[in-house]
Amino acid sequence: MRSDFDVYHRPPVRGFVDVTVATPLVQAEARRQFNRFYPIMNREAEERSVVVIERGIFSMLARGGARVEDGEVLFWNPVEGGFQAYDEDYNDLMLGFMGDFKTRCRRSMQQKAANN
């Protein structure tokens, strides 16, 4: 388990999101993330993946885990306690965070099963 997940900062309360402003920025960000972090695949699978990324970003905007600021989509960094652009370090952080979360959930379920 990574030690940097011992400290977790929750994002601030979400603000107003103007969907007409956010939509083209989210679409561009989803495409950028796909091009940078996903393997090359067939066109049909690519379009589905970009749509899934877009939905994830919109979900993060709705929960306060992302915001649109100065024409850019920024994402909440739970370790640093601030918003940042999605880059290599943030991608690694989130992959590690999701893996850590899965491990903790799995361990919790195993403990509950053992207690039954």
Q: Where are the domains of the chain?
A: 3-115
Numbers of helices and strands, H then E, in the chain:
3, 3
Mean pLDDT check: name the lowest of 14-28, 29-43, 62-76, 95-109.
Answer: 95-109
Longest dimension (CA), the chain: 52
How many Å apart are CA 15 and CA 103, to the nearest integer?
Answer: 32
31 or 110, greater pLDDT: 31
How confident is the model at residue 1, as a pLDDT?
37
CA–CA separation, 82 and 70 (whole Å)? 16
- How much of the chain, in percent, has pLDDT values that exceed 70? 81
| The pLDDT value given to residue 41 | 75
Question: Distance between CA 61 and CA 18 in Å, rounded?
Answer: 10
From the CB of residue 50, how many other CB atoms can be counted at a distance below 10 Å?
17
pLDDT of residue 14: 82
| Rounded mean pLDDT, 83-92 | 94
